[in-house]
Amino acid sequence: MNPTVLILALLGGAGVFLAFGGIALWPRKPRLQIAQRDRFRGGGVGSSLAYRLASGRDTKVAGAIERQLQAANWYWGPGETQAPDPSAPYHTVAGYQAACTYQALTLGAGGLVGASILATVTGLPIWMAPLLAGLLAYVGYLTPKDQLTAAVRRRHQRMTLEMAFRLPELAATVATGRSIIQALRELTRRPGGPLATEMVRLLRTYDLTQSLEAATHVTVQHNRFEPLTEMLRQILFVEQQGGSIGPALNVLATAAQERLQQQLEAQGDANKRDMGLPVVGASVLVMLLLIAGPMIWVIMQAL
């Protein structure tokens, strides 16, 4: 028998033995118990490892992440029986951190394997594999953050739109002689968006505490969208002073419509810029073809 083959066989057998012994005899950690509210959507192989890695990391931005989850209406509080938005990819800081870690692990590992195979086949330098894996892992780690930021921005845009239409209705309802609480109940009886959702939260707290101040505090703590916060504080101030809420609602309605106009104008400008990029790119491509095309043709004919 060839001595080289014998040595390789012995090394392979020792490796299999060590691997089996490590799996069978290594002291196992207790099974990780993950609460339903801390789970993230899309987790597969490696999600338990992601939770273990994420749970050992003490982040200083946990409070900021939780506030963003609340602003996006994704946050699932400890005492709540179900998620406010079941379609959200995660609902807590723990789920967010695990999702970041899982995306980094999966994209990094996939990039490492794919780049290694590509380098082997094409003869590219092998050091490109870990470099590409690191870049993909970084992109994967940032993906959940981008998702959350986009969700907050979309919800704020929807709330701006809803406030511009609902606040005049609220003012008209109060003008018929109803109290602000009655007017808010009337508003929440109709299908609505994020503003109606926040008003349902306010009324739920009000029914439990019979305090508009406590209900306003809970709603503001849950959603720190400045126009909504200003609206609730104005309503609370007028109610505490015993004044008429109608004029204040009219002022808030006018401000909401102005914000909507500014949002639409900004969106229109952004759409113009986005539409201009393909036109510019196509124009540049055409110019390059017109300039470089004859030169390429001459070179091909010379060859």
pLDDT tens, residue by residue, 203-227: 999 999 999 999 999 898 888 788 9
The answer to the question of residue 278 being in a domain is no
Domain end call among 139, 154, 169 = 154
- Asked if 150 and 187 sit in the same domain, the reply is no
Domain end call among 227, 243, 262 = 262
Print the domain residue range for 250.
156-262
The answer to the question of residue 74 being in a domain is yes
Write down the pTM of the prediction. 0.72
Encode 229-239: b = buried (16+ Cβ within 10 Å), e = exposed.
eebbebbbebb
Domain end call among 154, 183, 201 = 154
**Among residues of the chain, what percentage have pLDDT more than 90?**
27
The answer to the question of residue 2 being in a domain is no
Instruction: Tell me: pLDDT of 10 over 60.
Output: no
The answer to the question of residue 229 being in a domain is yes
Note the pLDDT of residue 184. Answer: 93
Q: Give the tens place of pLDDT for each residue, 222-250.
A: 887 889 999 999 999 998 888 888 899 99
Note the pLDDT of residue 152. Answer: 93
Instruction: Tell me: pLDDT of 271 over 90.
Output: no
- Asked if 113 and 178 sit in the same domain, the reply is no
Query: Who's near 112: CB < 8 A, 6+ residues apart?
Result: 129, 130, 132, 133
Instruction: Tell me: pLDDT of 51 over 70.
Output: yes
- Asked if 94 and 200 sit in the same domain, the reply is no
- Asked if 164 and 210 sit in the same domain, the reply is yes
- Asked if 69 and 133 sit in the same domain, the reply is yes
Find tokens 């102005």 and name the residue: 258
Instruction: Tell me: pLDDT of 164 over 90.
Output: yes
- Asked if 113 and 191 sit in the same domain, the reply is no
| Residue 261 CB-density burial (10 A; 0-12 exposed, 13-18 middle, 19+ buried) | exposed
More confident residue, 158 or 6: 158
* pLDDT average, residue stretch 73-78: 87
- Asked if 112 and 84 sit in the same domain, the reply is yes
Note the pLDDT of residue 27. Answer: 40
More confident residue, 160 or 2: 160
CA dist 195 and 198 (Å) reads 5
Query: Who's near 67: CB < 8 A, 6+ residues apart?
Result: 224
- Asked if 169 and 258 sit in the same domain, the reply is yes
* pLDDT average, residue stretch 87-112: 88
| Per-residue confidence band for 269, with pLDDT thresholds at 50, 70 and 90 | confident
Task: Count structural domains, the chain.
Answer: 2
The answer to the question of residue 297 being in a domain is no
CA dist 134 and 132 (Å) reads 5
The answer to the question of residue 17 being in a domain is no
Note the pLDDT of residue 298. Answer: 58
The answer to the question of residue 288 being in a domain is no
The answer to the question of residue 233 being in a domain is yes
Rg of the chain on CA atoms, in Å: 29
Query: Who's near 101: CB < 8 A, 6+ residues apart?
Result: 50, 51, 53, 54, 141
Q: What is the mean pLDDT of the chain?
A: 79
What CATH number is attached to the domain comprising 189? 1.20.81
Q: Residue 276 CB: number of other CB atoms within 10 A?
A: 10
CA dist 122 and 115 (Å) reads 10
* pLDDT average, residue stretch 47-57: 70
Q: Provide the sign of the torsion angle of the four alpha carbons 22, 25, 26, 30, taken in this order.
A: positive
- Asked if 181 and 250 sit in the same domain, the reply is yes
- Asked if 141 and 256 sit in the same domain, the reply is no
Note the pLDDT of residue 290. Answer: 59
- Asked if 35 and 150 sit in the same domain, the reply is yes
- Asked if 74 and 144 sit in the same domain, the reply is yes
Side-chain half-sphere exposure of 91, counting CA atoms within 13 A: 20
In the chain, the amino acid numbered 122 is: T
